[in-house]
Structure formats: structure tokens, C-alpha cells
Amino acid sequence: MHVTSLGRKSSVHIIELHAAAVVQVFDYCHGTGRTALELTGETDKA
């Protein structure tokens, strides 16, 4: 019982860490994408 409960807890913890990492990467890519769009918009205007 203890082994399976520990396994479940660790797997859930790994999933949470993975989800957090995905969100961070998505936010970073979204931020860089925004700045890239702004830069291209500025070059198009100029």
C-alpha cells in the first residue's frame, strides 16, 4: 500500500512539474512571439 501510494504521489508530482514547465515554455514562446510581431510591425511601418 505504501509503495503504490508513494508511486502515485511521485507520478502526480512529476505531472505537475511537467505541466508547469510546459506553461513556462509556452509563456516564453508567446512573449518572444509578441516581441517578434512588434519588431516586424515596426520594420513594416518604417
In this predicted model, what pLDDT tens digit does every residue of 1-46 receive, in sequence order?
A: 455 666 677 888 888 888 888 888 777 766 666 666 666 666 666 5
The pLDDT score that the predictor gives to residue 9 is: 78
- Whole-angstrom CA distances from 37 to 25, 28, 29, 45, 46 are 18, 14, 12, 12, 14
Q: What is the pLDDT of residue 6?
A: 63
Q: What is the pTM of this model?
A: 0.42
Cα pseudo-dihedral 13, 15, 16, 18, rounded to 10: 120
